[in-house]
Structure 1
Amino acid sequence: MFVSVFFLSLFYNPTARMSVTEMFSYIQGFLSADQDVREDIRKVVQTLEQTAREILTVLQSVHQPTGFKEIPSKCTKARELFNTVRTQLSELTTKFPAEQYYRFHEHWRFVLQRLTFLAAFVVYLESETLVTREEAAQILGIEVVREKGFHLDVEDYLAGVLIMASELSRLAVNSVTAGDYNRPIRISNFINELDSGFRLLNLKNDPLRKRYDGLKYDVKKIEEVVYDLSIRGLAKDKETEAK
């Protein structure tokens, strides 16, 4: 884009004519500046990726047999780490002009989707509800409206939610191992609602579409868990005990 602007300036400003050597030296200046910006972005993204791994490590413990009892404390710890995320994302916004968000979007797209998944997982563990895009953006300390600056793109939000669906299918299986037979049923109801919601969307983004195609396998996996519990009468027994 910078190079295009440069050539346009030469076309409309004849007095700015340069020799071939001067022209390419000038272009190299733009390329070097662009590379410096990308390198600065990459450094911040690396710190975000590290924090995301730390949050994931904290939340992964809920899959352990005793992990369900620790859900409140693990969610609290994860939310504390999101304070670091907000600081790092705030630093990222200083590395490039706000209007060039999508020019550099590929650098942080994956980690932002990952962080959205982690935010969604925390919210689900706390309340068994779906995080809204607004809530996810608030947890990350960024905007929702594009015009306000660094924001959570709709497709990144949806990708994060789909990653969470895969995590919940795993949680459903591990719930049975931990002896929590009602949780898979609740997860199944939630995932089926999620699937119904995605069916309302006309997805044009190919990577997002492929990730959504994987949701049907998560639905099937959880349904198999629920079916097995039903056949064995475990869920019913657990409900009877609760009464």
Structure 2
Amino acid sequence: MASTNGPTPTGASLIDTGIFTSLQAKIDEESEIRDQLKTLVDNLSKQGRLTQSVLSRIHNVPSSALSTEVLDPSKQAIQQQVQTVQALAAEGSKYPFYKWNQLWQRDVQHLISNVQLHRWLETGQLVTVEEIGSFFNVPVNVKDQDTFHIAIEDYLLALCTTIEELARLAPNSVTLGDYARPLQISKFIKDIHAGFQLLNLKNDALRRRSDGIKYSVKKVEDVVYDLSLRGLLPKEEQSIS
């Protein structure tokens, strides 16, 4: 009886080419997913540039005009971004979060930072990560399912950006004749710095960024100290500076 396990005839393929056809189908599927998500992310990024452009006016707009020239228009711009985030969350939740989140991570962090800065300019208060989730209408720090959410690391990285922007605002406020704001900024970022010192951070990028907060604290302290030496702090602030 002839063996059925003999050598493969010369010229015959040793591999089923259907394997590669299947792989190409998977590649095409992932490419389509990426394109769909990228369209939303590109829109979010474009809106973010508008928001940032409006908020950047804080460095040359006096406090008396802040509401009409910065806070009101930036609030509208932020609302548009939030709507895009909600659309992104609906689409992104169809797929594994940590496979695709690098597409939108930076833009979402920028949006969170813009919201944090807007809140501080309005009230002098910190917006919590839970409030961010509620405002965006998306989950926060999800652990039991693979869905779109706001990660704690993104919130903290955004906060580092907010602190850097406030540290830049301190000397610019002095230029605009607002001598009270640097002290307000100093108190706020010192509290944030103290809060970060309570954290045991495992994320290398976040640890490096948070280490930089001390330089922002020092920068603003120097502004306040200079104002104090020149006798420019408001009288009600001098006793607590």
TM score, norm. by length of structure 2: 0.86
For the residue of structure 1 that corresponds to 2:19, the secondary structure is helix
- In the TM superposition, 1:174-185 aligns within 5 A as 174-185=172-183
For structure 1, the residue ranges without an aligned partner over 5 or more in a row are: 1-17
CA contact (8 A) 2:114 2:162 kept: yes
Name the residue aligned to 1:70: 65
Query: Which stretch of structure 1 is more off in the superposition, 184-193 or 87-96?
Result: 87-96
Please state if 1:228 is matched with 2:223.
Answer: no
SS of residue in 2 equivalent to 1:27: helix
Q: Output one character per residue of 1:155-191: Cα deviation in whole Å (capped at 9) or x when no partner.
A: 0000111100000001111111111111111110110
Aligned to 1:153: 151
Structure 2 unaligned blocks of 5 or more: 1-13
CA displacement 1:171-224 (0-9 Å, x = unmatched): 111111111111111110110000000000011111111111211110110011
2:6 corresponding residue in structure 1: none
2:48 to 48, 52, 60: 52
TM-score by length of 1: 0.85
Question: Does the residue aligned with 1:20 lie in a helix, a strand or coil?
Answer: coil
Higher gyration radius (CA): 2
Aligned pairs for 1:154-169 (under 5 A) are 154-169=152-167
Partner of 1:137: 133
**Bigger share in helix:** 1
- Structure 1 stretch displaced more, 130-139 or 175-184: 130-139
Match of 1:211 among 204, 209, 212: 209
Match of 2:81 among 81, 85, 92: 85
| CA distance in 2 between partners of 1:152 and 1:233 (Å) | 44
CA shift in 2, pair 1:28/1:172, >3 Å: same
Q: 8 Å contact 1:82–1:139 — kept in the other structure?
A: no
CA contact under 8 A between 1:61 and 1:67: conserved in structure 2? no
The answer to whether the Cα contact below 8 Å between 2:86 and 2:136 also exists between their aligned partners in 1 is no
Provide the rounded CA distance (Å) in 2 between the counterparts of 1:48 and 1:169. Answer: 26
4+ runs of 1 displaced by more than 3 Å? 94-99, 236-240
SS of equivalent to 2:17: helix
- Where does residue 15 of structure 1 map in the other structure? none
Aligned to 2:117: 121
Alignment check: 8 A CA contact 2:141 2:152 kept: no
The answer for the alignment partner of 1:189 in structure 2 is: 187
The aligned residue for residue 200 of structure 1 is: 198
Task: Decide whether aligned partners of structure 1 residues 155 and 239 sit closer, same or farther in structure 2, where only a CA change above 3 A counts.
Answer: closer
**Aligned pairs (5 A) from 1:24-35:** 24-35=20-31
Q: Percent identity?
A: 35
Partner of 1:4: none
8 A contact 1:142–1:151 mirrored in 2:
yes
Check 1:174–1:238 CA distance in 2 against 1; reply closer, same or farther (3 A cut): farther
